[in-house]
Every structure is written in C-alpha cells, then in structure tokens.
Homo-oligomer: A and B are copies of this chain.
Amino acid sequence: MKAQNHRIRVGIIGYGNLGRGVEMAISQNQDMELVGIFTRRDPSTLASQAAAYNLQEVESFQDKIDVMVLCGGSAKDLPEQVPYIAKYFHTVDSFDTHAKIPEYLEVVDQAASASGKVSVISTGWDPGLFSLLRLLGQSVLPEGGDTHTFWGKGLSQGHSDALRRLEGVKGAVQYTIPKEEVLQEVRSGKPVTLSAADKHERVCYVVADEGVDLEDLQHRIKTMPHYFADYKTTVHFISEEELRKEHSNMPHGGTVIHTGESKVGDKQRVEFTLALDSNPAFTASVLVAYARAAFRLAQQGQSGAKTVFDIPFGLLSARPIDELIKELL
C-alpha cells in the first residue's frame, strides 16, 4: 500500500444526528482530520467546535479536502448532492432506498467516473454490513437454505412519526422487536416464507393528551394500515417524563441469518448481529471506515461508484496490512 503523506482530510455535508456521529467518529481515527462541516443553514448556528461553512462554498475546498461524507437524507438530499459533490471530491454516503439503489449507482458512477473520483454509495449497516453478510452467506452456502434479515430491537423513526401524527398523541416512540420464536425457527434451517409482519412485533410508548379516550386511541393505533394493522402491536401509555427519561436514545440493531446445507442434512448456519446503543453513531462509524477505503481505492488509481461489495476489508482499517495479518488473520 502506498505510504500516506498526510492525514486523510475529510469534510462533512449535513449536520443532523448522522453528521454529528461522523464528526465524533473522525476524532476516533488518528489518520484522519475533519477539515470542515458544510451546511445549508447559517454556519454560525452549528453547535460544533469544527469549522463550519455554507454549502455554497464547497467548491473552493477542492485542494483542501480528500473525502466528503454526505449525511443528508435519501429521499432528496443525496440524489441531488452526491453527483454534484463527486465532481470535486471522493464521496461516501448512506443512500438507503433499497429499490432505487441501481439507478442511483448509475448516476453517481457517471459523475465520479468523469471526474476520476471514487464514490462509495449505500454504506452503513443496512444497506452496508448486513448486505455484506447476506452476500457472504449466499456465496459460501448457495444451497439448502435461505437468508433472513431481522431488524431490532430498535427505535423506528418512521413508525414513531406515524404515532405522533395521530390526534390525541403528545409524544411517542415505537420499537421494532424481532419475534424470538421466529428467530429460533429460522436458525433451525427449516424453510419458511416470512413477511416483515411475521418476523417482528411493534411496541409503542405513547404520551396521550389529557382527556383522550385511551381505549379509542389504542384502537386507532393498532388498526393503522401499513404501519401497525398487520403486526402484533402493543401500546403502553406513559408520562411525558418517562418518555424523556427512558426513551430518548436511538438504539437499533438486528440480525442476518443465513442457513444452508453443505450436503443434504448437514445444516450450517451463519449469523450476524448488531446491538447498538446509538443507530446514527454506528452508521457514522461505518461511513468513516469507508471514507478511508474510498481514499485508498483512489490511491490505487480507481474511480467511479463503488458499493461495499467492491471493497476488501483490508482497506477499512487505519493499521498496516502486515499488522492486520499478524494479529487478526
């Protein structure tokens, strides 16, 4: 591997939970430095010690930043920003609209190939690490089994928002929890066809407005189409104080289970689990490791859009490959 002459210079675009996580993760990696945070807001309002700039200034940092970590949303921010930013910088993002990844990949690849930059798209934990484990399982054990992904126990932002939109709800969080008995069934390697509703239950903690008919509210939650109607759903009514004290973190995680048979009857199981106190902080940590990989791929002369499937794990670590081989292989 080519020696690095300087620390990898990183920029962050977007400063929500994910952007703050990336800032923290960079501070844990001594081979990197955070050059600046770029925002569409007034930069002076950012609650960060790092230098903050208006996103409009970003082009002037062409010679000062190697890799830009994009922390915006998948719906609007990333499809708009990444093809533009890839003209000037290597990029990493967590674009997570699974169905739209192929077209997104193509657009980003055109931009990054044209500029000679490397763009790592759709990394994080799902898509990202979970995708890698699904692929690993299916590559090693192609027959006699199946791959299942369970999400949780974890706080679901979308479902929490859905609760909050209901009349009579003052505050709420929703946890998605894999059903233990279904996990066990999948582990056994028995062939099963499972919907998301078969695999998960939903537990809601709700602060109701004063005077609201709780039985009616519970009924409205449990019958909400798409969100709760198909699921085993439990509703707990709690106080505002309890919501703040017990439910303000963003834990998440999940499990990928792949089973197969090396020969008929030989059950083999590969299982990968994440248990995360902070979902955005972990996603950020993954983005930063792949920012290093993007930089190194570029040093090797590569360009264009890459996914986690294209990137060897040896490029993720700050440590020299001979040390990794000696200590971890």
Contacts and interface: CB of A to CB of B under 8 A. Distances in A.
Which among A101, A268, A282, A311 has the greatest number of chain B C-beta atoms within 10 A? Answer: A268
Nearest to A142: B28
A203 interface: no
Given A28-B143, A142-B318, A316-B139, A266 B286 contact: no
A139 B313 contact: yes
Interface in A245-270: 253, 260, 262-263, 265-270
A194 B324 CA distance: 21
Contacts of A274: 268-271
A114 interface: no
A285 B262 contact: yes
Contact of A286 (B140, B318, B324): B140
A325 B102 contact: yes
A171 B275 CA distance: 43
Given A138-B317, A309-B324, A328-B138, A268 B286 contact: no
A278 interface: yes
Interface stretch (A37-45, A65-73, A126-134, A218-226): A126-134
A272 interface: yes
Given A24-B263, A98-B329, 10 more contacts: A131-B328, A135-B314, A135-B317, A136-B316, A142-B318, A266-B278, A268-B274, A268-B277, A269-B275, A309-B313
A269 B252 CA distance: 11
16 contacts: A24-B263, A28-B142, A101-B329, A102-B322, A131-B329, A135-B316, A135-B328, A253-B269, A260-B285, A262-B284, A262-B285, A268-B276, A268-B282, A269-B276, A308-B313, A309-B321
B281 A101 contact: no
Contact of A136 (B260, B270, B276, B313): B313
A281 B141 CA distance: 10
B289 A139 contact: yes
A326 B101 contact: yes
